[in-house]
Amino acid sequence: MKPRQDFDFSQAGLEDILAHLESLLTDAVTNRHNAFHTPVLLSIGLDGRPRGRTVVMRSFDASHRQVRCHTDIRSDKAAEIAKDARIGWVFYDPASKWQVRLQGLAVLHHRDDQAQAAWQKSKRMSQICYGTNPAPGTVIAGADQFVLPQEPDAIAAGEAHFSALICTYDEMEALWLGHKGHRRMRYRWMEGGEIQSEWLAP
């Protein structure tokens, strides 16, 4: 089901809104025109400062409350998440006028079945990036002082750096910008799985 872009949410209830947001997020995995496709992923820097960066959302599973993206295990974010698994996501889609913020815990899958399955489904142009030498974030002597693998064997070797980051979120906060008044709401999933839903002042 395609998400409704023009719906007036000013009269919608919390349950319907959650279902709608889940459908927007699900659509964004495969729909590049849905701006939720490229959220900002937030982690806590090794120095304790906040760190954010754009990533591609690779899967969204509403029933397990999981979001997945892929990243290089040599990246700063991987080191940050290894130290502190608490992460956040910010999605904003100007077309639907929704901002969604998720908070949860991340698990980095590296050299396991989940990482292997995700690597095998990745396009060659994505796989090439994992063979970047030197490692992402390394200071280099000039703009082009890095190499990407060219040959199939070298590209395949990049799998050693590939990781699938899977986050299970326990909080979703959303804001809708409406002509007749904004709407803001928060959903929290408790230990037993029950949802605490509440309106917030926008």
Q: Is 75 in the site for ligand FMN (CB under 6 A)?
A: yes
Q: Residue 178 corresponds to which tokens in the numbers above?
A: 């409406």
Give the Å distances, CA to CA, from 10 to 98, 177, 183.
Answer: 13, 10, 7
Please report how close the Cβ of residue 97 comes to ligand FMN at its closest, in angstroms: 21
Q: Is 109 in the site for ligand FMN (CB under 6 A)?
A: no
Determine the size of the site formed for ligand FMN (CB under 6 A).
15
Residue 87 as a binder of ligand FMN (CB under 6 A): the answer is no
CB of 108 to ligand FMN, least distance (A): 11
Q: Cα–Cα distance between 171 and 200 in angstroms, integer?
A: 14
Q: Does 59 bind ligand FMN (CB under 6 A)?
A: no
Residue 197: partners with Cβ closer than 8 Å, 6 or more residues away: 14, 15, 18, 185, 186, 187
Closer residue to ligand FMN (CB): 162 or 169: 162
* Position 137 contacts ligand FMN (CB under 6 A): yes
144 CB neighbour count, 10 Å cutoff: 7
Phi and psi at residue 104, to the nearest 5°: -170, -165
**What residue ranges bind ligand FMN (CB under 6 A)?**
38, 51, 53-56, 69-72, 75-77, 136-137
